[in-house]
């Protein structure tokens, strides 16, 4: 089944404790992206990648890191999480020739 | 400046009636794409419909159609014959830099639709 998977789905952590949210897709898509969703703000793009070793900032990259060492994986790293990073995070992927983005199920992160 | 504006935080519609969700956008890029996504209470993001800036015809997908008015910079979603399962949050989004193949998306703040039985 074609899908984007994210792990963990839920995470409660404390300020400053480094964490990684994994994202993997099995559709051989070149493009991958991370978003955060906050009430009243919609989705905002954090980082995106157009291919292996090619990443670029979205609208809200501060406090986040990404890497794209393999085509299928695009982890989101929070080196020192803070409470304002409490949010619902989505990973998405897309093939260049298609318009549709495929979204993962989301990761709900709470930083205390 | 907000690039995607959804002015209706919430809407109600009677089952089987049509409903229009508003979306206006702002861009100076001649090549862009417009999208609508549905997010039910379960949380997943579901792609509904796409309109390219150069497309001459309004996009349609089943009961969904996109009323694209380029001069007004609007891309309203029309849902015909509403069903209870249409109750969800709806997001309008834009992708700029289509010609250069970028992957930068901007989303609106969403409209929560409730379909009444």
Residue B99: pLDDT over 90: no
CA separation for the pair B18, A56 (Å, rounded): 40
Q: Please give the structure tokens belonging to residue B38.
A: 């549905």
| pLDDT at residue B2, rounded to an integer | 61
A31 touching chain B per CB within 8 A: yes
Of B30, B20, B35, B12, nearest to B108 by C-alpha is B35
Cβ <8 Å between A99 and B33? yes
Residue of A nearest to B38 (CA): A103
Query: Which letter, b or e, does each residue of A3-26 get, where b requires 16 or more Cβ atoms within 10 Å of its Cβ?
Result: ebebeeeebebeeeeebebebbbe
**3-state class (DSSP) for residue B84:** helix
B100 touching chain A per CB within 8 A: no
Cβ <8 Å between A40 and B109? yes
A39 touching chain B per CB within 8 A: no
Residue A40's Cα: distance from chain center in Å?
Answer: 20
- For B35-77, write each residue's pLDDT tens digit: 999 999 999 999 999 999 999 999 999 999 999 999 999 999 9
Confidence grade of residue B1 (pLDDT, cut at 50, 70, 90) = low
- For A77-93, write each residue's pLDDT tens digit: 999 999 999 999 999 99
pLDDT profile of chain A (112 residues), mean per 10? 94 97 96 96 95 93 97 97 98 88 96 96
Of A56, A72, A58, nearest to A22 by C-alpha is A72
Phi, psi (degrees; rounded to nearest 5) at B103: -125, 40
| pLDDT at residue A1, rounded to an integer | 86
Residue A105 contacts residue A91 (beta carbons within 8 Å): no
**3-state class (DSSP) for residue B42:** coil
Residue B56 neighbours by CB under 8 Å, 6+ apart: none
Of B44, B73, B101, B69, nearest to A51 by C-alpha is B101
| pLDDT at residue B103, rounded to an integer | 78
Of B88, B109, B111, B101, nearest to B33 by C-alpha is B101
């Amino acid at each position: 089944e074609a899908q984007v998977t994210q792990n963990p789905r839920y995470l409660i952590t404390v300020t400053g404790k480094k964490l990684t949210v994994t994202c993997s897709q099995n559709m051989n898509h070149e493009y991958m992206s991370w978003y955060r969703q906050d009430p009243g703000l919609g989705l905002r793009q954090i980082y995106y990648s157009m291919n292996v070793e090619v990443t670029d900032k979205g609208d809200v990259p501060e406090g986040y890191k990404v890497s794209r060492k393999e085509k299928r994986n695009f982890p989101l790293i929070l080196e020192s999480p803070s409470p304002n990073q409490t949010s619902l995070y989505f990973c998405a992927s897309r093939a260049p020739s298609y318009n549709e983005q495929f979204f993962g199920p989301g990761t709900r992160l709470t930083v205390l | 400046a907000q690039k995607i504006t959804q002015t209706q935080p919430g809407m109600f519609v009677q089952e089987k009636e049509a409903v229009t969700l508003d979306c206006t956008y702002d861009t100076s890029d001649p090549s862009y794409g417009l999208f609508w996504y549905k997010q039910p209470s379960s949380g997943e993001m579901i792609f509904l419909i796409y309109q390219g800036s150069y497309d001459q015809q309004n996009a349609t997908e089943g009961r969904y159609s996109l009323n694209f008015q380029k001069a007004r910079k609007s891309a309203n979603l029309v849902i015909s014959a509403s069903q209870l399962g249409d109750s969800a949050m709806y997001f309008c989004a834009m992708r700029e830099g289509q010609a250069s193949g970028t992957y930068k998306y901007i989303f609106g703040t969403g409209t929560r639709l409730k379909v009444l039985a």
